[in-house]
């Protein structure tokens, strides 16, 4: 097993060389702009996401299920959840994302580099598809730093927002990032895990004794992300409806969009 992991790491290093060069096209492409990063939390059901139609947006994993996907027409779609490929439901969502990418010619999809080994992914997603080397053994909360160069790889923060979205947004040069749907409510067993309902594996994780550790590790990773942006005179704001995250300045989502 150890040999297999070592061989896979070496293979991914080789794959990352050309992928890393491709990712450099995104360096500072949005310097001074603002963007909205959407998790999949249940709070999204209480916010009018159609307001985002003219904003730069990042969406994640199963957001293809959201009723306003076509209206928003996301710019960037980040996918790191391996469970996408372990059930028919997940594979059908991948098919829908691929079709949406064909329709929305400017939508860019980011996968974990290990997914490039999946023939269905590699053959199905060709144009505007990029792969990030996910260094999941490097923990943001342990190292005390966020990845700032996606061409070299991204680190684990226990949520795709920290793993992928914030490093990409930083690399692109966004000066203001607004978080939506980042509820931090996995530990609340009485509420749904996502805007589309429950994901059983998320409930299982939340039900373990380690859920408190998960919360503190993610919160610490968010704090590190906040400091990273602040050090370069940029900011992250929390526009999540009644979210439990305490790291960022809270802002009213409609007021940001409408300027009221």
Q: What is the mean pLDDT of each run of 10 residues along the chain (260 residues)?
A: 53 66 95 95 90 95 89 93 62 80 85 74 73 91 96 92 97 98 71 56 51 86 97 96 91 89
Domains of the chain and CATH, by start? 2-258 (3.90.1480)
Computed from CA positions of residues 241, 254, 223, 182, in that sequence, does the dihedral angle turn out positive or negative? Answer: positive
Q: Are 31 and 175 in contact (CB under 8 A)?
A: yes
> For residue 217, what pLDDT is reported?
92
Closest CA to 226 of 169, 180, 151: 169
> For residue 95, what pLDDT is reported?
80
> For residue 114, what pLDDT is reported?
80
Residue 122, token pair as written in the block: 């590699």
Closest CA to 107 of 97, 92, 117: 97
Q: Are 128 and 109 in contact (CB under 8 A)?
A: yes
Q: Are 64 and 84 in contact (CB under 8 A)?
A: no
User: What is the C-alpha R_g of the chain?
Assistant: 17
CB atoms within 10 A of CB 180: 24
pTM of the predicted protein model: 0.87
> For residue 203, what pLDDT is reported?
45
> For residue 170, what pLDDT is reported?
98
How buried is 244 (Cβ within 10 angstroms: 0-12 exposed, 13-18 middle, 19+ buried)?
Answer: middle
The secondary structure element, H or E, covering residue 109 is: strand 108-112
């Amino acid at each position: 097993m150890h040999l297999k992991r070592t061989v896979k790491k070496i293979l991914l290093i080789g794959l990352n060389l050309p992928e890393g060069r491709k990712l450099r096209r995104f360096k500072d492409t949005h310097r001074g702009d603002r963007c909205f990063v959407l998790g999949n939390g249940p709070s999204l059901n209480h916010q009018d996401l159609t307001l985002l139609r003219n904003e730069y947006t990042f969406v994640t994993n199963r957001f293809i299920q959201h009723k306003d996907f076509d209206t928003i027409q996301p710019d960037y779609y980040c996918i790191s959840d391996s469970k996408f490929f372990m059930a028919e439901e997940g594979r059908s969502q991948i098919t829908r994302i691929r079709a949406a990418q064909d329709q929305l010619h400017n939508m860019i999809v980011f996968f974990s580099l290990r997914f490039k080994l999946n023939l269905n992914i590699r053959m199905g997603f060709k144009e505007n598809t990029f792969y990030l080397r996910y260094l999941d053994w490097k923990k943001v909360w342990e190292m005390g730093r966020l990845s700032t160069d996606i061409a070299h790889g991204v680190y684990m923060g226990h949520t795709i927002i920290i793993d992928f979205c914030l490093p990409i947004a930083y690399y692109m040069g966004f000066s203001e990032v607004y978080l939506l749907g980042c509820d931090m409510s996995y530990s609340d067993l009485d509420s749904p895990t996502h805007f589309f309902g429950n994901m059983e594996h998320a409930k299982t994780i939340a039900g373990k004794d380690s859920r408190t550790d998960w919360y503190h590790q993610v919160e610490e990773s968010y704090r590190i992300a906040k400091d990273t942006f602040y050090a370069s005179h940029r900011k992250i704001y929390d526009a999540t409806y009644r979210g439990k995250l305490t790291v960022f300045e809270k802002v009213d989502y409609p007021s940001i969009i409408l300027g009221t």
